[in-house]
Structure 1
Amino acid sequence: MSIFRSPAFSSLARARAAFPRSAARTATRSLSTTRYLRSDVAPSSLHTFTEEEEMLREAVQRFATDVVEPKVREMDEKENMDPEIVKGLFEQGLMGIEIDADYGGANSSFMSAIIAIEELAKVDPSVSVMCDVHNTLVNTILKKYGNKEQQDKFLPMLAQTSVGSFCLSETGSGSDAFALQTRARKDGDNFIINGSKMWITNSYEADVFLIFATVDPSKGYKGITCFIATKDMGIQIAKKEQKLGIKASSTCTLSFDDMKIPKENMIGEEGKGYKIAIEILNEGRIGIAAQMIGLAQGAFNKSVPYTYQRQQFGQPIGTFQGMSFQIARAAIDIESARLLTYNAARRKEEGKSFAKEAAMAKYWASVVAQRVSGEAIEWAGGVGFTRETGIEKYWRDSKIGAIYEGTSNIQLQTIAKHIQKEYS
């Protein structure tokens, strides 16, 4: 582990020249009398992981390579998640990473979830996003906002057997996420829900659904409330989308027709659904960033070795300057996106603000994923354009990164608002 030394004040003379003489004297006394104490814990890089996190990374890599990879192309072409893959995710503990061991979870960290999402995406972004949405959105909401009875009932299911789905988007509420038309009407000890949701990830396989609906339309977004429901309560899959990429990941339209939900299934307080969604989507964006950097790395890993095997004009094509510079820039891009993502994840774990950092990570990782996966096809030439290698799939899968859990423009808007607040 590297130790960072205290910075030398080599520019002190220049700084003094810019200050009035009295200010310079004050600064000199302050610096000369300050004691620099060595911390017992040395600073570390963003690539420093706990032993548990390293073990998890290795375990997920093995699962992705041995279990997921042989089925990737078949799942993509059939546009269906293999039930054995879903079962394996639960058996490996990857669907309850942050859930307490008392509920059957792995009792691990948020960073562990990010690592798992990244490693799965190197092999199949479809499997990765199932794990991502389930952990960073559904499980986290139950852990953070659910009451004891709700946690006792649903967390064991989510950790061991039941896929979770996050139901927010509607036809008229994409980027304007809180322009909801789904209504929840009080009826004695129940709420009656009517409406529909679109673009809902995991919805085909899910048994547990978090549904955002408006209880009081007159209050606008402050009337939105979050409910937890199970499929047998009357959730109908109206349509399963056929998509450009992440085809094995289910994306469906859901319908609710006088669906009855007990009032004890309301998550948090009535009218606080918007707050829950805003806070949780900040965490979810770090998960999508992890998916995108894993995707970019996966495309890179498949294409680059080919450039050193394929020879033209008497040498490997990867050794030509034009090609080697492209590869070098792609590696820099991936690493920069990874550092942004890890930084956002660590800030979240440390209890620091991270909304701006999450938006930065999500934005840049989606840009890098599209760029690198596209270049990876070109590096492999005609072979890369065929479905046989699987490289082209990464490019198709990459496009969704700029769309879901907040478009790239929404991320830029979020970042700009934070900058404005800091500087104005």
Structure 2
Amino acid sequence: MTTVERILPTDEAHDLLALATELADRELAPRVADFENRSEFPREVIRTLGRAGLLGLPYPEEYGGAAQPYEVYLQVLEILASRWLAVAEAVSVHTLSCYPVATFGSESLRAMLPEMLGGDLLGAYCLSEPQGGSDAAALTTRARRDGDDFVISGSKAWITHAASADFYNVFCRTGGAGPTGISCLLADSGTPGIVPQTAERTMGLRSSPVAQIAFDEARVPVDRIVGDEGAGFRIAMTALDAGRLGIAACAVGLAQAALDYAVGYAREREQFGRSIIDFQGLGFLLADMATQVSAARALTLAAARLRDRGRPYSTEAAKAKLFATDMAMRVTTDAVQILGGAGYVADHQVERFMREAKVLQIVEGTNQIQRMVISRSLAR
């Protein structure tokens, strides 16, 4: 494995990354192939990470978090992704799912955070819909007021942890058309009328359960509203800024794993009497891959530092997500090419890496949406 030079703000952060590396090597790397082959979600692995304190890194200590800078959290996420992307994505989605309650929730809702951040309760983020993915402001899932409850009807799509989550952030229409008519409700997964559908058959991340969720007159108490009524769209968008950095870190970790595997193979594989890494064509390809990984890491951590300082970072998060995920697609594809025919068979991890990289260009806002965010910021 190539050495990644990390500059960490504290000794505690250094220890956290060492712990993440140890857990990733012991709990993730030996299991990923089996769980991916069986398309089984590793719920106990997520609990293990929670008990180790790795699910609440960026959240306040008073709620069971570790009060770590986002810069540190993202490097932990990168380490996890380099061993098992589905687990790193689960951590990223769960961290995203805790954000609305931690940032906008009432004190009674925040009382749930210790169980959330400790991994006892797993979260899901219900924003996308079957007919409305990128156009989140046009969502149609509706919640009407009935006494002390909201009654939710509609459906959500592409929900990670759909049948495995313990709680859902449900973004639904409580008012009129447009962004200001959207609210966020915190619903327990066991609520009658919330019905996860059959899991999707996906190209990659097969150990990550993704499905539609139907809401059939599901009743959620009024006191489960997160923030003010009508503030749901703003909550969703601010959460996604942070979530995009999580996906960027996952992309860096995946690409680093592909680079490491390709370098190891190129050192060992001999053709024409010497290791193929000594041929300039492959050596230069690996050099470009390594440079792209380092550039994506730097861009991602630079955006995280802005967030940690309380500075605007939405555009920088979009840049990081765009660049890192496009980079991961290129690097994993090149890794397959370096292995030649061997890269196309499942005996080598790079074919899985390539399949997994594709989804990172889609989730948390497609890369076309990221380009819109960036271009609009230039127009302003």
TM more than 0.5: yes
CA deviation map 1:392-419 (0-9, x unaligned): 1110000011111111111111111111
Deviation for aligned residue 1:247: 1.1
Please tell me whether the aligned partners of residues 162 and 210 of structure 2 are also in contact (alpha carbons under 8 angstroms).
yes
Which residue does the alignment assign to 2:36? 76
Which residue does the alignment assign to 1:231? 189
**Distance change (3 Å), C-alpha of 1:103 and 1:353:** closer
SS of residue in 2 equivalent to 1:205: coil
Moved runs in structure 1, 4+ residues, more than 6 A?
Answer: none
Which residue does the alignment assign to 2:359? 400
Which of 201, 206, 210 is residue 169 of structure 2 equivalent to? 210
Q: Does 1:61 align with 2:21?
A: yes
SS of residue in 2 equivalent to 1:87: helix
Q: Please tell me the root mean square deviation across aligned C-alpha atoms, in Å.
A: 1.4
Which of 243, 250, 254 is residue 202 of structure 2 equivalent to? 243
What's the TM-score, normalizing by structure 2? Answer: 0.95
1:323-334 to 2 correspondences below 5 Å: 323-334=282-293
Moved more, 385-394 or 319-328: 385-394
Which of the two has higher C-alpha Rg?
A: 1
Which residue does the alignment assign to 1:131? 91
Unaligned runs of 5+ in 2: none
Which residue does the alignment assign to 1:117? 77
CA deviation map 1:164-205 (0-9, x unaligned): 111000012111112111100001111101111000112222
CA distance in structure 2 between the partners assigned to 1:187 and 1:256 by the alignment: 16
CA distance in structure 2 between the partners assigned to 1:215 and 1:417 by the alignment: 29
Which residue does the alignment assign to 1:220? 178
Q: Does 1:159 align with 2:117?
A: yes
CA distance in structure 2 between the partners assigned to 1:83 and 1:150 by the alignment: 24
CA distance in structure 2 between the partners assigned to 1:189 and 1:231 by the alignment: 19
Amino acid at match of 2:207: A
Deviation for aligned residue 1:115: 1.4
Q: Does 1:49 align with 2:40?
A: no
Q: Does 1:309 align with 2:268?
A: yes
Unaligned runs of 5+ in 1: 1-44
Q: Does 1:256 align with 2:215?
A: yes
SS of residue in 2 equivalent to 1:178: helix
Q: Does 1:345 align with 2:304?
A: yes
CA deviation map 1:276-300 (0-9, x unaligned): 1111111111111000011000111
Deviation for aligned residue 1:123: 0.8
Please tell me whether the aligned partners of residues 248 and 300 of structure 2 are also in contact (alpha carbons under 8 angstroms).
yes
Q: Does 1:90 align with 2:50?
A: yes
Which residue does the alignment assign to 1:415? 374
Please tell me whether the aligned partners of residues 79 and 248 of structure 1 are also in contact (alpha carbons under 8 angstroms).
yes
Deviation for aligned residue 1:251: 0.7
SS of residue in 1 equivalent to 2:198: strand
Deviation for aligned residue 1:84: 2.6
Deviation for aligned residue 1:341: 0.2
CA distance in structure 1 between the partners assigned to 2:299 and 2:67 by the alignment: 25
CA deviation map 1:191-229 (0-9, x unaligned): 10111100011222210110000011x342211000001
CA distance in structure 2 between the partners assigned to 1:141 and 1:405 by the alignment: 15
CA deviation map 1:310-335 (0-9, x unaligned): 11111110011001000001111111
Aligned length: 374
Give the fraction of aligned pairs with identical amino acids, expressed as a percent: 34
Q: Does 1:366 align with 2:325?
A: yes
Moved more, 219-228 or 101-110: 101-110
Deviation for aligned residue 1:117: 1.3
Please tell me whether the aligned partners of residues 46 and 342 of structure 1 are also in contact (alpha carbons under 8 angstroms).
no
Deviation for aligned residue 1:47: 3.7
CA deviation map 1:224-260 (0-9, x unaligned): 0000011111221112111001111111110111111
SS of residue in 2 equivalent to 1:70: coil
Please tell me whether the aligned partners of residues 239 and 254 of structure 1 are also in contact (alpha carbons under 8 angstroms).
no
Amino acid at match of 2:65: G
Which residue does the alignment assign to 1:12? none
CA distance in structure 2 between the partners assigned to 1:54 and 1:301 by the alignment: 22
CA deviation map 1:359-394 (0-9, x unaligned): 110001011101001111121223222212212111
Q: Does 1:297 align with 2:256?
A: yes
Deviation for aligned residue 1:143: 1.2
Which residue does the alignment assign to 1:140? 99
SS of residue in 2 equivalent to 1:380: helix
What's the TM-score, normalizing by structure 1? Answer: 0.86
Q: Does 1:288 align with 2:247?
A: yes
